[in-house]
Structure formats: C-alpha cells, structure tokens
Amino acid sequence: MNINKKLSKILPSVTAEAHCDVPCGIYDPTPAKIAAKTVQRMVMQIKELKPGNHDHDISADLEYTNAIARRITTKEKHAQECKNELAILWSDYFKPEHLEKYPDLHSIFWNALKLCSKNKQNIDEDASKELVIAVDNIAKIFYETKGDNERFESYKNVTDKLF
Amino acid sequence: MNINKKLSKILPSVTAEAHCDVPCGIYDPTPAKIAAKTVQRMVMQIKELKPGNHDHDISADLEYTNAIARRITTKEKHAQECKNELAILWSDYFKPEHLEKYPDLHSIFWNALKLCSKNKQNIDEDASKELVIAVDNIAKIFYETKGDNERFESYKNVTDKLF
Amino acid sequence: MNINKKLSKILPSVTAEAHCDVPCGIYDPTPAKIAAKTVQRMVMQIKELKPGNHDHDISADLEYTNAIARRITTKEKHAQECKNELAILWSDYFKPEHLEKYPDLHSIFWNALKLCSKNKQNIDEDASKELVIAVDNIAKIFYETKGDNERFESYKNVTDKLF
Amino acid sequence: MNINKKLSKILPSVTAEAHCDVPCGIYDPTPAKIAAKTVQRMVMQIKELKPGNHDHDISADLEYTNAIARRITTKEKHAQECKNELAILWSDYFKPEHLEKYPDLHSIFWNALKLCSKNKQNIDEDASKELVIAVDNIAKIFYETKGDNERFESYKNVTDKLF
Amino acid sequence: MNINKKLSKILPSVTAEAHCDVPCGIYDPTPAKIAAKTVQRMVMQIKELKPGNHDHDISADLEYTNAIARRITTKEKHAQECKNELAILWSDYFKPEHLEKYPDLHSIFWNALKLCSKNKQNIDEDASKELVIAVDNIAKIFYETKGDNERFESYKNVTDKLF
Amino acid sequence: MNINKKLSKILPSVTAEAHCDVPCGIYDPTPAKIAAKTVQRMVMQIKELKPGNHDHDISADLEYTNAIARRITTKEKHAQECKNELAILWSDYFKPEHLEKYPDLHSIFWNALKLCSKNKQNIDEDASKELVIAVDNIAKIFYETKGDNERFESYKNVTDKLF
C-alpha cells in the first residue's frame, strides 16, 4: 500500500473540466416537433381510412385492421417520443435563470406533457393540432433563450412542411 | 356460415387507401444531422477532458473514467442513431425514380453508413467531420427531390448551430 | 354509402367510459425508489472497488475495468429510470387540484430530475443520498394525496432495506 | 517490452473484491407485483369498455379500437415485464442453498412464467388473478429467505392497493 | 505538467490491433431468416384465425381481437428485425471487394429492405414468401463470400424447418 | 341494449383456434449460440488488445479505452441476449412432457443462466467456453425433442464457424 502512496506522488491525477456537467449541450426542439407532426398525421390517416362499399371481404377487413393498428401504435410511440423530448428540454436544458424570465415555464411544459397523453388516449384532430402549437410555443421560448430568433424561423420552415 | 355470407352482403367491407403504403410520409434528415453533430461533440469533449496536474487522487480518476465512459457510450448510441436514420431514408424514402436521377445514391448511403461504424470504432475528429458532411450531402439530395432548396438552407441554419 | 348510413341506424356505436382517460390508474413511487437506491449502491461499490497491492497484472486490470464500467452503466441506467418514473408521476398522476395543495410541486420534481442528471454526471455519495431523500419526499406527498399515510410507512419499510 | 515488465513491478495491479460477483444485491418482488396488477387491471378495463347504445358512429368506433388496442399492448408489455422480473429473481437472486430449503422452487417459477404467457394470449380475469397470487407466493418465499416476514406485510400493504 | 511529460517517456502507450476495426467479425444470415419466417408464420396465423359460427359473444370477439392484434405487432417487430439484420450485413459485413464480384449487391439489399416494409404494411402471403426467398438469396451470396457452400446447406436445413 | 341483444343473434361471434395458444411455434437455439459465441469472441479480443511499446500518447490511450469499453458493453449485451433466449426456450418451448423425459431440465437451464451472469461479471475465457458448451447441450436436447438429430448437426455446422 505504501507503494501506492509513493506512486500517487508522481502519477498524474485527472480533473473533469467544468463544462462537462452538461453531457453535450446539444438541445433542439426539432425532434419534438417531428414527433408532434407524426401524431397529427396518424390521426388524419386513421380518420381517412374508411370502409369501402363493395361486398364484405375478410381480407380487406384484415388489411384495414392492420392499417389502423399500425397507426395507433405509431401515434402512441411518437406521442411518447414527444413527451420524452419535451421532458429532456424541461429538466436538462432550462435553468433557474430561464425560469426567472419565463415564470410560467413549469406549467407550459406540464400542460404540453398532458397534451401528449391526451393524444395517446384519443384520436382527436384538435388535440393533435394543439400539441403542434404547444411544441412551437416551447420552441419559440427555446430560441429566445439562445438569442436566435432567426433560427426559430428556420425551425418553422423545416418542420411545418413535413407532409 | 351461410349467416356470414348473408351478412357480408349488407356489411361494408373496407379498403385501405392508396397513399397508405407510405406509413406516414414524414421523412427529414434533421435527426440524422443532430446525431452526427452529437458524435462530433463527443469526440471533441473526449479529447478535451484531460489529466490534471495535482496529486494522484482516486476520486478524480473515477470522475474522469465516468466522464469518458459516458461520452464513449453517447458517441456509440448517436452513431447508431445516425445509421438508423440514414438507413430509413435510403430504404423507405428513396424510390427507383430518385435512383435514376442520382445513380450514386446507393454508394453515397453505403459510405455514410460505413462512416457511422468508423466513428464508433475510433475517437477521430476528422471522421466525425466527414460524417457531418456526408449527412449534409444526403440532406441536399433529399431536399432537391422535394424541390425545396430553401428548406435545405433552413435545415443548415437549424443544425449547424447546435453547439 | 347509403348502405353504411342505414347500417349505422341498427349497429351499436361504442363509447369509451369516462375513467378510461387514465390508462390504468396504477401509480406508485416504489420503482423510482428502487432506482435511486441502485444508483446509491453503485456509487458505494465504485468507491469500494480498489487497486490491489500485488504485482502489476493486466488480467486484474481488465477485471477492475469491467467491474467499474458495468457499475457506471448501471448507475446511468437507473438514474435514467428514476428520471422516467418521476416524470410519469409528475405529468400523469398529479392533477391541478394537487398543485393547489402543493404549490411547490413543479419545483420539487424539477429539482429531483436535475438530481438524477447530477448522479449520472458524477460519482458522488452525497448526491446519491440526496436523490433517495428527494424520492422519499415525493412519495410522502404521493401517499398524502391518496390519504394513506400508513402505506407510506410500508413503502419505507420495503424500500429502505433493499441492501 | 522489457520497459513494460519493469513498470509492472512498480505499478499497482487491481483486484475486484469478492462481493462484486453480485452486481448490486438489490432484488425485490415489488416490480413483478406492480406488473401483475397492471395486467389484471388491463383485463378488467378491456372487459368494462363496451359498445354504447346510440347510433352507429365511426369516430366512436375508432375511440373504442384505440382504447382496446392500447390496453392489449399494455397487458402484453406488463406480462413481459412480470416475466423478466421473475426470471431475474429465479436465475440471479436464488442460490443452491435456497433450492435445498424450497425444493419446488424451479417449478414454482416455471409455472409463474407460463402464467405470464397465458395472460398475454388471453383476456382472462381468472388467469390474471392467478398471476397476482403466484407473484405473492414467490414474494413470501423471497422475504422468508431474507428472514424478514414483516417486510412481506409491508410489500402486501403497498402492492395490494394499487388501484 | 512536466511530470506528465517525463512519465510519458516511461509509461507504455497502447495500440489497438488492426483486426479490431471489425467489432467482432460475427455475421450470419440466420437471425434474418428466423425473422422472415416469423413474418410468414404471422401472416398464415392471421389468415387462419376466423369468426366462429355460434352466437355473438363479446368475450370471443375480444379474444379474436387480442389474437389478431398480437400477431400484427409480432409481424411488425420481426419485419423490422429482418430489416435491421439485413442492413447490418449490407453496411458492415460487405466490403468493396464483394461489390466487385456482386455488382447488384446494393439493389439486392434495397429490394429486400423494401420487402420488409411491404410485409409491415400488408397481410400478404406472397409478400412473406418473397421475403423468405430474398433472405435465402442474400444468405447464398454471404456463404459464397465465405467460400463455404456446405454451410449454406446447413443454414437451409436449420431455418427451413422452423415451423 | 335490446338492439345489441338482437344483433348478437345474427352477428357472427369469433373463436381463436386451438393452436394459437402458441404465439408462433418458432423456437430455435441458434440465436442463443450466436450470442454465446459473441461473448467468447469479446473475451478473446479484450485479452488480445494490449498496450503498445512506443512513447506514452493520450490519443492511443483513448483508442484503447474506446476499444475495451465497446467490447465490455458488447459482451454484456450478448450475455443478456443469451440469457433472454434461453429463458424463452425454458419457459415457452419446453412442456411438462419434456420435463418427464429430461428430469434435469430445470437445473440445466438454471446453471446456464447463471453462466451468462458469470460472463457479464468477468472476463474469463474458460467461462465463455463453458457457456458455449451449455448452449450446445441445450440445443442437443431441443433437437431431440423435435426428433431431428440431423438438424442438430446443421446447427453445429452453422454456429461453430462464426469466427
């Protein structure tokens, strides 16, 4: 053990640098928006898919079931992804100094997360539109804290045209 | 069974509409770019973290090990995410008509996927830059097929400033 | 289509019952506590593992590296699990009426989630103890809203003795 | 290489301590019980959801489909989680000395795992009750091996009141 | 810092050996084939499950829905697994020298991946058979590049009899 | 509600067919063997990677750390995959009639699962060989219950040559 001690005198110790308490510093609301738009798209497609008017046919029934089931699953998955992405922004990106400037920050995120759940539980075009708007509002705040409003416009340009 | 048959005369059958062979039609290279930039950031952070020059200290060693190990895992995860996102664009978004216009499409994607693996296997700033460029090249082609070059500029504006 | 209309007169429509906007109504802080205790245990084990005092031996080095790397990964995973479990309680279980009674609810959760991140980024016994206490505080509020303080005692009895 | 050899004389080698062959020593049947109760709850909710008696309405049909599909998926997921948690207890926690004291240990777990599968394959209230009982039986054995029967009572108190 | 420098003169540096740019060198088409056969089996089972001819019974309806929903999910999951396994073979195993010998390699994989998607989007026995054949064709090429045609026969013997 | 009742007289009910209590009937030990061989390969590669004998170089250190960390993670992942695959065979494929013929079935699987854990916790060539043998023994029993010993030979031919 005294060998260890002696070695510790000459061996370099290491220090993690200060900025490393941020794992990467890469945050962006675009993935949350893509997820919200996918939820909206799924609701639209589920509503559009409809019974045909030819004779009853079990194969067509199964195709319809397959089509609806896959869209319900995709809606669920992306509503969850939206929830995850927003929760990361809330807990990891936003700091006490942001809260001072945006005192409603907590309830804005709380309501947005509850909207994600609402979109899981229902097939509701209005709720999916509200979710898209909620993500855009959060994105606006996010880019304001970055002092980069032009990037918000770019974000809108990329994510509003997804389908 | 003849009851089934009778019912099939009056019950509506269903038809999945044509556009539904595309599950959602939502494709965008932004998540691949965010993943590539995260790989690049991890390589930079791994290189920046360095041994301090004070006395040997097992706690500082462990903090360094924790910091490096987490960044290697994050690099791995996002290189894989980049790989997945690019593979989806290649197999699901791009169609034979795009291949006619971009005859090198297959090798462009093949090389980009191999770059993802290279970034997993190494801690190499040049390889991480090459990956970012490879994703941008694919994004350029993607937005060209959408006939929306302005959106490419927006994509660049959003994703070049991530850190 | 008028066949559809006629059928809609005789076919039963369906209504989801009111309580179904809660997917299951099953919420409990025990999994968050198990995750927090696992983080604490990992920090303790990482600190306990130490260099031996016999001759340099590459096999022993690799065993040490394997042991540390696995505990860092397990710490990361359970800190994330704790984060997920708490985020679900915050966004899904707690309702506006709870917020009225516990006006600090949002910041209690925000700080607990930030503690999860701190435990990912460091190997810090104090931070791991703080996380366990933070989860217990949330559990106390949770069981109070259920009007079941005795269950809080049971929760403590189950989760305080995990190792 | 002879430099390496010389260094190996003065550099400390490391030894993983004995208790580390247990990754963490944290085992508890509570998560298996929560999973089993969730399966039971899903079966109950699926049975309760029923066709309304107003006019045929495609929107209500879709809401019903969404509600049922999500509960089937949740049932599946938690039956699998129950399976995983039980398999971990069986293979990792229980040791040959326990097997001596509980010679039926293997078949107790085998039957419990088969019950998880049965609950995936069916929507059966009796099977879901049997699963809850099977987990409780395993929990009883578990706390007996810990010599802590009071903790079994606490476990019951926490997990019997989940909904 | 000059202590570091001095130490760097006597401390061994490390070099990863050449073959390590291949993470493991373990590639095999068997998992892709198992996945493809599972897709085929699911399509067969979905088609076989059918309405009974006794009186209308909500419990039997729910069992049917559960059975179909689980098979659609399993089909989806294994079509995705097949996609993943094939994408790994394409991007990681195959090298430029293979491409020279098999100039259609890229389109063979592209079409196989598109077949995976087709099997997700439909319940189509022919499409599932085509997927099995596509995987076998890729397996044939794979074992040829290994110079081991006998192993292809063994692969066929193992994977053709899965159900 | 009496409309429902009337409809239930004319609407077909459904019955899941008997063989559907087996979700797919597709079981095979090949994926468990591939996982076991990957564990073995990782142990070999970890042992082979070694410090070079040129001057101390932080970049080479990091490459070594990256190479080792990735192999430890891969070893962990595939030991877990092996565990999962074996647990599925044990709980889902094997039936009471097999247990009669192979009365040691439970302990064979128990020991094999414990070997998976041992391979996670150590970097031990002997333990990895034992795991490969344990999987082969299970495979032998599996193909015997299928009455297809020739397929066991094919399985051996495919899986013994993976690297």
Least confident interval from A52-56, B139-143, C1-5, F81-85: C1-5
Q: Work out the mean pLDDT of chain B and round it to a whole number.
A: 86
Please report which helix (H) or strand (E) contains residue F51, including its range.
Answer: strand F50-51
Q: Across the interface, do A58 and E46 touch by the CB < 8 Å criterion?
A: no
Average pLDDT over residues E22-26: 71
8 A C-beta contact, residue E34 and residue E159: yes
Rounded distance between C-alpha atoms, residue A60 and residue E124, angstroms: 11
- Structure token digits, residue D137: 């039986």
Chain A residue closest to D73 (CA)? A73
Alpha-carbon separation of residue A55 from B93, C138, D23, E85, F13 (angstroms): 34, 58, 61, 40, 19
| Average of per-residue pLDDT across A144-150 | 95
Q: Please state, in angstroms and rounded to a whole number, the distance separating the CA atoms of residues C148 and C134.
A: 19
What is the pTM for the complete model shown?
Answer: 0.89
Closest-approach residue (CA) in chain A for B58: A13
The nearest alpha carbon in chain F to D20 belongs to F121
User: Cα Rg for chain A, rounded, in angstroms?
Assistant: 23
- pLDDT > 90: percent of chain D: 77
- Residue B12 has its nearest CB partner, among C7, C50, C51, at C7
Q: Which positions in chain F touch B3 (Cβ < 8 Å)? A: 10, 12
Residues E140, A138: Cα–Cα separation, whole Å? 52
Residue with more model confidence, B130 or B5: B130
DSSP 8-class letter at A13: P
Q: What is the ipTM of this complex?
A: 0.85
pLDDT at res. C5: 39
| Chain F CA closest to residue E29 | F158
Per-residue exposure over C120-135, b if at least 16 CB sit within 10 Å of its own CB, e if not: bbbbbeebbebbbebb
Q: Is F123 exposed, middle or buried (0-12, 13-18, 19+ CB in 10 A)?
A: buried
With CB atoms and an 8 Å threshold, state whether A73 touches E68.
no
Q: How far is C118 from chain B (nearest CA, A)?
A: 12
pLDDT of F11 over the 60 cut: no
pLDDT tier at D25 (50, 70, 90 boundaries)? Answer: confident
Q: What is the pLDDT of residue B24?
A: 72
**Phi, psi (rounded to 5 degrees) for A49:** -60, 125
CA distance linking residue B139 with residue B29, whole number of Å: 6
Check CB contact of D72 with chain F, cutoff 8 Å. Answer: no
What band does C67 get if pLDDT is binned at 50, 70 and 90?
Answer: very high
Q: What is the mean pLDDT of residues D29-40?
A: 98
**Option in F53, F158, F163 nearest E30 (CB):** F158
Segment among C42-51, D75-84, E29-38, F22-31 with least mean pLDDT = F22-31
A58 confidence band (pLDDT: 50, 70, 90): confident
| Per-residue pLDDT, D101 | 98
Helices (H), chain E: 2-10, 30-48, 58-88, 96-101, 105-121, 125-145, 149-159
Percentage, residues of chain E above pLDDT 70:
82
Reported as a pLDDT band with limits 50, 70 and 90, residue F9 is very low
Contact at 8 Å (CB) between D40 and D135? no
C53 at D interface, C-beta within 8 A: yes
Q: Mean pLDDT across chain F, nearest whole number?
A: 86
According to DSSP, residue A20 is labeled G
Burial A42-73 (b: 16+ CB within 10 A, else e): bbbbbeebbbeeeebeeebbbbbbbbbbbbbb
Closest partner residue to D113 among F53, F91, F120, by Cβ?
F91
A67 pLDDT tier (thresholds 50, 70, 90)? very high
CB contact under 8 A, E161 and F151: yes
C53 band by pLDDT with thresholds 50, 70 and 90: low
Contact criterion met (CB below 8 Å) for D20 and C49? yes
User: Which amino acid is present at E49?
Assistant: L
Nearest chain A Cα distance for residue D11, angstroms: 8
The band of F153, judged by pLDDT with boundaries at 50, 70 and 90, is: very high
| Residue C58: per-residue pLDDT | 86
Looking at the complex, does the CB of residue B121 fall below 8 Å from at least one CB of chain F?
A: yes
Residue A94, token pair as written in the block:
């936003």
Q: D40-66 burial, b for 16+ CB within 10 Å, e for fewer?
A: bbbbbbbeebbbbeeebbeebbbbbbb
E strand or H helix that includes residue B14: strand B14-15
